[in-house]
Structure 1
Amino acid sequence: MRHLPRWAWFAILLLLLAATAGILLAMGREPICKCGSIKLWHGEVVSSENSQHLTDWYTPSHIAHGLIFYAALHLLAGRLGLMPRLVIATVVEAAWEIVENTEAVIQRYREATIALDYFGDSVLNSVSDIAAMWVGFALAARLPVWASVALLLAMEIGVALVIRDNLTLNVLMLLWPLESVKAWQAGG
């Protein structure tokens, strides 16, 4: 399977993207924002349109996923080659997008984080999140390790400073919510 032509790998990636979108639609996720528009960027975090458009303040978290997946798969499965590892990363990211949009996880976000009005991602946003992971994966494949680490830190610190949230805080608050972090995120 490692020796598939490049077009076949891209076809597999597109099939995974389409399958994820189909599953999310079958789960009852909104195809696009209920507002009826599609925006390239939506920067208001506390908004019913957050996680509904192409990109938002959580897009860097998905780029970070790509950087992290590349590093992990390079260490654990480096013999597989780049495209098979990208397919594995896509399966993991797609699985997260599906799990993230289950009622149980949406409810957990509402209970454990400051995302009180979070109702899940639109299918468009989930598909864009997977594409953002691809960007991170591609960057990690081309950048020196120090540059990937610097990019990851810059995104995490930058997003935390702007919206008081990022990938690290998101994982922390989902798995082990801390009232002090929740208060800080709320601006207290």
Structure 2
Amino acid sequence: MSCILHLDSSSRGSRSISRALTKEFVARWLQIHPGDRVTYRDVGQYPVPPVDEAWIAASFSKSEDLAPELASALSVSDELIDELLIADRYVFGIPMYNFSISANFKAYIDQIVRVNRTFTSDWQGLVKNKKMLIITTRGGSYSDASSNQLDFQEPYLRTVFEFIGITDITFIHAENLTMGDESRQQSLREAHIAIQNLVAIW
């Protein structure tokens, strides 16, 4: 039995395409693996706090030296990291905002990328033997040579998750979602097919 962390980061609710696609993948997965356990996290509708001065001071202090107020500053980070470490697989829905990621998801990353919890002081990742699926939604196309220089989303996500040790990462990009109905529908068809294919082998 595996544990899946299913995370959505879209600020949209029922109109979110990334939410619909991650939900589809998890539902198909559970049909094949009904014994697996899913933990759900929604940082789009329920954002986590950004790091602050107390968080930084606490994260670079020895745990036995932490004053109560500094220990409290790490409580959200501890919860998120524990959730991350327990999971075997990750299914993340991450829309592209302004060529990159949302502020809400960046706040989540800042909470989980933490020395001595997810990486060591000599920059070795501690989150090992995991699988990650990232489903993105994008208004235009950023996968070909003429436009991929504008894609600050996938390169950043690969870098930050590989930094903490997650190297088995698959992307499904639903692109051209604002480029007219025909392009939109074609991209969604391709995303659905990619989801069906991946569920069978992931």
Choose between structure 1 and 2 for higher RCO, CA contacts under 8 A separated by at least 6 residues. 1
Structure number with higher helix proportion:
1
Task: Tell me the TM-score normalised to structure 2 length.
Answer: 0.26
TM-score by structure 1 length?
Answer: 0.27
Q: Which structure is larger by alpha-carbon Rg, 1 or 2?
A: 2
